[in-house]
Chains A and B, each alone.
Chain A
Amino acid sequence: MPETASSQALDTFPRLLLNHARVRGGKAAMREKDLGIWQCWTWQGVADEVRALACGLAEMGFRRGENVAIVGDNRPRMYMMMTAVQSLGGVPVPLYQDAVANEMLFVLVDAEIRFLFVEDQEQVDKVLELQEQLPQLKHLFYDNPRGMRHYTQPFIHDVRELMEMGRIHNRNHPDLLATAIATGSTDDVSVMLYTSGTTGKPKGVRLTHNAFISAARGGVEFDHLTAEEDILSYLPMAWVGDHLFSFAQAMVTGFTINCPESAETVMNDLREIGPTYYFAPPRVFENLLTQVMIRMEDASAIKQKMFHYFMAVARRSGAEILDGKPVSTADRVLYALGNFFVFGPLKNVLGMSRVRVAYTAGAAIGPDLFRFYRSIGINLKQLYGQTETCAYVCLQPDGEIKFDSVGKPAPGVEVKIADNGEILVKGPMLLKEYYKRPDATAEAINADGYFMTGDAGIFDDEGHLKIIDRAKDVGKMANGAMFAPNYIENKLKFFPYVKEAVVFGDRREMVCAFINIDIGAVGNWAERRGIAYSGYTDLAAKEEVYGLIQESIEQINGELVGEGLLADSQIHRFLILHKELDPDDDELTRTRKVRRGFVAEKYGVLIDALYGGKDSQFIETAVKFEDGRQGKVAADLVIRDLKTFGVAGREAA
């Protein structure tokens, strides 16, 4: 690397930017599609605009160390504003752009925001709604002037005015910015990201330049990323993943970030850009696959035959070829043919022809889904991390992909498992503190400097970390074995026939389960077999459906036996609920998570029947219909025993 000599100094984001402007000033740093054409900013261009923004802020009375909120879709100028704020020693605070006004209020007040940069009229309107509750707000800048002609409030400015002011300021004080950047330290806070706060108020996570630069360098080295990568920046800027991929890693390597034209055009933009480095949450991969499958069903018979034939080849050998494992010559030839006729064109349609590394995280990804992408030659991997660790704890190394693990600890990160199963991590990427919350900081970081993730996990024999559950949900069975309900429920939900599952076993001698069938998938299955049914309750009680679900669960029992600590969590008895769990009945949260305690209480009689060894149980439940009426659903539920497997070296349970 030619920069090695000066790399000592490249320890803050503004210094990295200046270096890129010097070393690769003419290379594309950011692109954005506007009026149908991809507009480009070079690194020199970005540096110039950042200078104008920063000097403008200085002219407006910006104070070192203060927080600046940034709200909007991924736009080049939004990213530039981050560096501009950092240049002056301030802290950018990106907010989720789809938050309603009241959700924004807490953060704007908590972070004492005086300067606020928003994307467009929609965001300005939200701020104006809150104006009376924001006495400290001094200046509001907007990027997109559309619809802003009639806003005459003196504290609202077009960001172009700010930049113009900055350019004049820069002519009068040419050294100011250089001095400000030289004053900055790598241990200064570089960004504050608010955690979504499922419980209690959101907390501002303060992360330093050093933390993010270390995390970015580690990831870059791990995946051999270069300045030639292209990435599509379309996930919320307030989310730690986007900050790592689209901001920190781009700043470290000098690769190009591409901002989509609008939220609706992301798929088109993806195809046009053809990123080499890609990140998406599991549901995006799932939607893409569904679209492909639906379109395949409309294709001609020959195409369908080809598709299914070569997909079978891919399932057999694709992932192994990607991992560089030995594969028979015949399969290699077939795979190459398949690549020419099917996988290549398919990847092109998905916009993934050039993808070298793709990551997913944020939720559990189904093994079939994961395997599909890997088998057609997309190097999709999982990672593990949280806001407090710059989304950088574990990564799956190339060639060592396991579908149910999140990989090995990333370079520079130390991971250990506490006695209660909780994952503890330590490294340069840890948060500095929670903003104004020393109590929360003290709670999250233990005396030895480990961050307590709140997740429970285990290492397998090859040192891969497997995430099991939230630590607080993990219980113990009567015999002391670990019981991780979410882990088992997720396994169940990976079967297309299972919509929801609730398992019980904490402080009990065996694990039992409630199942909700997926009416679409099971209904389809029943139709193909000529099984008539009148509705959910009827279908759920069918003998054949019980058989179908029983098979699935017994398969899981077989898997659990091999998972050491979890072998005792095999499911002994189950029943299929007579109604679907529903947020309207308070059984699920609005984000469709099971409220375990509530369900256990409401269906206490069923639990007693499961553990009491009964073969069936009558139940009547009040339900709310979609039109708001109340009603009752009653059924006599069958309970079935399941086959369980003995653990080697122990007597069968």
Chain B
Amino acid sequence: MSRQIGDVVLDLKKVSLSFGGVNALTDISFDVREHEIRAIIGPNGAGKSSMLNVINGVYRPQQGEIILRGQHFSKMNPYKAAKAGISRTFQNIALFKGMNVIDNLMTGRNLKIQSNLIQQALWWGPARREELAHRAKVEEVIDFLEIQHIRKTPVGRLPYGLQKRVDLGRALAMEPSILLLDEPMAGMNVEEKQDMCRFILDLNDQFGTTIVLIEHDMAVVMDISDRVVVLDYGKKIGDGDPDEVRANPDVISAYLGASH
């Protein structure tokens, strides 16, 4: 493999998050290294999605800090996260259903657009050149995800598996350095899962994108991730490479019940 796992790019220290009296996350620390595929697993309600939401600033943790490439963020917000190269997909697909695939992917380029509103409205000079350049980038994403045949189809008309792929495409259009995937394979059949795995491995390999993913399918997680964090009731109960995690007695009891 030419892919080399590098230094820590994202470090979470003692993060705690609560909603009223409910402790969603308690004292969680883990790190993510450059170019690695890092999985977060755990039973339902373990706090996995909350964890992702903390990373890209949707939720503000009451305690703890996030260190992104050496920069400390006690208050992350989605805009800062996006500017810093973090993009994500959602468990419930978050696309514009009435817009076609190209337009949805173009929204992923939004942050990178320089020209102002008036220039864009007139589609003149720099705005035109800029849009063509962005469109070319979007075409690369379309080619990568092999969705040429649905380029101009409204997203709402696509089957679920393809919508998931477009959702990933929109995240990729941002050219992220860190990609957060919230259950990318939920609800897919075996073939769609295989395709999705291949896309994740390919983009990690070709573009060196660091990937943090939540996934329920254990076979998939153990197969593709470099390191795995296990959460249960908002606490970290395991952390390490797939084999270590599989052998961890706490993890086994969390998944199979206390007495096994």
- Within the complex, what minimum Cβ distance (angstroms) separates B144 from chain A? 8
CA of A34 to CA of B148, assembled, Å = 10
- Within the complex, what minimum Cβ distance (angstroms) separates A270 from chain B? 13
The chain B residue with its CB closest to the CB of A34 is B143
Q: Are B149 and A268 in contact (CB under 8 A)?
A: yes
With A36-B151, A262-B148, A265-B148 as contacts: A147 and B202 at CB distance below 8 Å: yes
For window 138-159 of B, CB contacts with A under 8 Å fall at: 139-140, 142-143, 146, 148-149, 151-152
A149 at the interface (CB under 8 A from B): yes
With A35-B136, A35-B140 as contacts: A149 and B146 at CB distance below 8 Å: no
- Within the complex, what minimum Cβ distance (angstroms) separates B202 from chain A? 7
**Which among A35, A37, A147 has the greatest number of chain B C-beta atoms within 10 A?**
A35
- On chain B, the residues within 8 Å of A132 by CB distance are none
B116 at the interface (CB under 8 A from A): no
CA of A34 to CA of B146, assembled, Å = 12
Q: Are A150 and B1 in contact (CB under 8 A)?
A: yes
- On chain A, the residues within 8 Å of B148 by CB distance are 36, 261-262, 264-265
- Within the complex, what minimum Cβ distance (angstroms) separates A400 from chain B? 39
- Within the complex, what minimum Cβ distance (angstroms) separates A342 from chain B? 25
A interface, over-half SS: loop
- On chain B, the residues within 8 Å of A261 by CB distance are 148-149
The chain A residue with its CB closest to the CB of B1 is A150
Q: Are B146 and A262 in contact (CB under 8 A)?
A: yes
- On chain B, the residues within 8 Å of A36 by CB distance are 135, 139, 142, 148, 151
- Within the complex, what minimum Cβ distance (angstroms) separates A351 from chain B? 15
CA of A264 to CA of B136, assembled, Å = 21
CA of A150 to CA of B202, assembled, Å = 11
CA of A268 to CA of B152, assembled, Å = 10
The chain B residue with its CB closest to the CB of A262 is B148
Q: Are B149 and A35 in contact (CB under 8 A)?
A: no
**Which among B2, B140, B143 has the greatest number of chain A C-beta atoms within 10 A?**
B143
- Within the complex, what minimum Cβ distance (angstroms) separates B3 from chain A? 10
B259 at the interface (CB under 8 A from A): no
For window 255-311 of A, CB contacts with B under 8 Å fall at: 261-262, 264-265, 268
CA of A265 to CA of B152, assembled, Å = 11
For window 200-253 of B, CB contacts with A under 8 Å fall at: 202, 205-206
- On chain B, the residues within 8 Å of A35 by CB distance are 136, 139-140, 142-143
- Within the complex, what minimum Cβ distance (angstroms) separates B66 from chain A? 33
B interface, over-half SS: helix
For window 18-76 of A, CB contacts with B under 8 Å fall at: 34-37
For window 106-162 of A, CB contacts with B under 8 Å fall at: 147, 149-150
Q: Are A149 and B149 in contact (CB under 8 A)?
A: no
The chain B residue with its CB closest to the CB of A261 is B148
- On chain A, the residues within 8 Å of B202 by CB distance are 147
For window 94-118 of B, CB contacts with A under 8 Å fall at: none
CA of A147 to CA of B2, assembled, Å = 13
The chain B residue with its CB closest to the CB of A36 is B139
Which of B140, B149, B205 is A264 in contact with, Cβ under 8 Å?
A: B149
CA of A149 to CA of B148, assembled, Å = 23
Q: Are A265 and B149 in contact (CB under 8 A)?
A: yes
- On chain B, the residues within 8 Å of A150 by CB distance are 1-2, 205
- On chain A, the residues within 8 Å of B205 by CB distance are 149-150
The chain A residue with its CB closest to the CB of B146 is A262
For window 453-489 of A, CB contacts with B under 8 Å fall at: none
- On chain A, the residues within 8 Å of B206 by CB distance are 149
CA of A264 to CA of B149, assembled, Å = 6
CA of A147 to CA of B202, assembled, Å = 7
- On chain A, the residues within 8 Å of B146 by CB distance are 262
**Which among B136, B142, B149, B202 has the greatest number of chain A C-beta atoms within 10 A?**
B149
The chain B residue with its CB closest to the CB of A264 is B149
**Which among A36, A262, A268 has the greatest number of chain B C-beta atoms within 10 A?**
A36
- Within the complex, what minimum Cβ distance (angstroms) separates B35 from chain A? 15
Q: Are A149 and B139 in contact (CB under 8 A)?
A: no
The chain A residue with its CB closest to the CB of B138 is A36
- On chain B, the residues within 8 Å of A149 by CB distance are 2, 205-206
- The proximity string for A residues 234-274 relative to B, scoring 1 for CB distances below 8 Å and 0 otherwise, is 00000000000000000000000000011011001000000
CA of A31 to CA of B149, assembled, Å = 18
The chain A residue with its CB closest to the CB of B205 is A149
- The proximity string for A residues 360-392 relative to B, scoring 1 for CB distances below 8 Å and 0 otherwise, is 000000000000000000000000000000000
Q: Are A262 and B149 in contact (CB under 8 A)?
A: yes
CA of A147 to CA of B146, assembled, Å = 13
CA of A119 to CA of B17, assembled, Å = 52
The chain B residue with its CB closest to the CB of A35 is B139
- Within the complex, what minimum Cβ distance (angstroms) separates B254 from chain A? 36
- Within the complex, what minimum Cβ distance (angstroms) separates A150 from chain B? 7
- The proximity string for B residues 107-137 relative to A, scoring 1 for CB distances below 8 Å and 0 otherwise, is 0000000000000000000000000000110
CA of A150 to CA of B152, assembled, Å = 34
- Within the complex, what minimum Cβ distance (angstroms) separates A519 from chain B? 27
CA of A261 to CA of B143, assembled, Å = 10
- Within the complex, what minimum Cβ distance (angstroms) separates A39 from chain B? 12
- Within the complex, what minimum Cβ distance (angstroms) separates B102 from chain A? 9
- On chain A, the residues within 8 Å of B143 by CB distance are 34-35
- Within the complex, what minimum Cβ distance (angstroms) separates A623 from chain B? 29
- On chain A, the residues within 8 Å of B140 by CB distance are 35
- Within the complex, what minimum Cβ distance (angstroms) separates B37 from chain A? 16
CA of A37 to CA of B139, assembled, Å = 9
- On chain B, the residues within 8 Å of A268 by CB distance are 149, 152
- Within the complex, what minimum Cβ distance (angstroms) separates A151 from chain B? 12
CA of A335 to CA of B188, assembled, Å = 50
- Within the complex, what minimum Cβ distance (angstroms) separates B137 from chain A? 10
CA of A393 to CA of B22, assembled, Å = 81
B-contacting residues of A (Cβ < 8 Å)?
Answer: 34-37, 147, 149-150, 261-262, 264-265, 268
30 A-B pairs with CB atoms under 8 Å apart are: A34-B143, A35-B136, A35-B139, A35-B140, A35-B142, A35-B143, A36-B135, A36-B139, A36-B142, A36-B148, A36-B151, A37-B139, A147-B202, A149-B2, A149-B205, A149-B206, A150-B1, A150-B2, A150-B205, A261-B148, A261-B149, A262-B146, A262-B148, A262-B149, A264-B148, A264-B149, A265-B148, A265-B149, A268-B149, A268-B152
Further contacts, 11 of them, CB under 8 A, given A264-B149, A268-B152: A34-B143, A35-B139, A35-B143, A36-B148, A37-B139, A147-B202, A149-B206, A150-B1, A261-B149, A264-B148, A265-B149
A-contacting residues of B (Cβ < 8 Å)?
Answer: 1-2, 135-136, 139-140, 142-143, 146, 148-149, 151-152, 202, 205-206
Q: What 3 A-B pairs are tightest by C-beta distance, nearest first?
A: A264-B149, A35-B139, A36-B139
